[in-house]
Chain A
Amino acid sequence: AQSVTQLGSHVSVSEGALVLLRCNYSSSVPPYLFWYVQYPNQGLQLLLKYTTGATLVKGINGFEAEFKKSETSFHLTKPSAHMSDAAEYFCAVSEISGGYQKVTFGTGTKLQVIP
């Protein structure tokens, strides 16, 4: 069974500071990993995904994540936080189960950006 753990339900950073949101996963098969962002009262939007190949994945809005198999991690980073980055971020792992795509989401990390 797959699972996702996001460390820290709330993270605060100053505007211009590094953003680091942590995600660890558990999967019995090679993982397909995703980061989604959710703005208040909206649906989720894909930031980036890892399937195979390059372990450093670049996404939208300047975010990137690195897949580290030895650490079973897929942490999300951004060099310089903007006020518009304030949102909730979800890490997810995907596998095929019973003929459908089963996606397991973490419990989310709310990012606060302090001016």
Chain B
Amino acid sequence: SQTIHQWPATLVQPVGSPLSLECTVEGTSNPNLYWYRQAAGRGLQLLFYSVGIGQISSEVPQNLSASRPQDRQFILSSKKLLLSDSGFYLCAWSGTASSYNEQFFGPGTRLTVL
């Protein structure tokens, strides 16, 4: 069966510090991968998606970046965090690109920037 992991689970960082969040998927090959941010009362905002190794597309311009160094690894990074980067970050995967495929979500990372 497929599983998706995220770490760390929680993170408190000062403004201006770097960020690295990791997501890994097990039990499937060549998944589509997604990073979402969830801010209070705003639902889910798609940040990045990837259809393959090294293939990253950004939905929202910001000071965050993403990388996919391996087939089942997806990393979210920042060189300098802003207060507005606080939120709950969710990684998700889906199978081949099809509208009827559901996305499977990881447990999330709660990021607080102080």
Measuring CB to CB, which residues of chain A are less than 8 angstroms from any residue of chain B?
9, 29, 32, 34, 36, 41-46, 49, 51, 90, 94-96, 98-103, 105-108
A43 touches B43 (CB 8 A): no
B108 touches A43 (CB 8 A): yes
Stretch from B63-71, B78-86, B99-107 contacting the other chain: B99-107
In the complex, which residues of chain B have a beta carbon less than 8 angstroms from the beta carbon of A96? 97-99
CA distance A99 to B96 in the complex (A): 10
In the complex formed, the residue of B with least CB distance to A52 is: B100
A101 touches B44 (CB 8 A): no
Measuring CB to CB, which residues of chain B are less than 8 angstroms from any residue of chain A?
4, 32, 41-44, 46, 49, 51, 57, 88, 90, 92, 94, 97-108, 110
In the complex, which residues of chain B have a beta carbon less than 8 angstroms from the beta carbon of A32? 99-100
In the complex, which residues of chain B have a beta carbon less than 8 angstroms from the beta carbon of A102? 46
Interface Cβ pair total, 8 Å cutoff: 64
In the complex formed, the residue of B with least CB distance to A91 is: B43
B100 touches A49 (CB 8 A): yes
Choice from B90, B97, B106 contacting A100 with Cβ under 8 Å: B97
B94 touches A42 (CB 8 A): no
CA distance A107 to B43 in the complex (A): 4
Q: List 18 A-B contacts (CB under 8 A).
A: A9-B41, A34-B102, A41-B110, A43-B92, A43-B107, A44-B105, A51-B99, A51-B100, A90-B44, A96-B99, A100-B32, A100-B57, A101-B32, A101-B98, A101-B99, A103-B103, A107-B42, A108-B43
A105 touches B106 (CB 8 A): no
**What 6 A-B pairs have minimum CB-CB distances, sorted nearest first?**
A43-B105, A107-B43, A51-B100, A32-B99, A105-B44, A44-B105
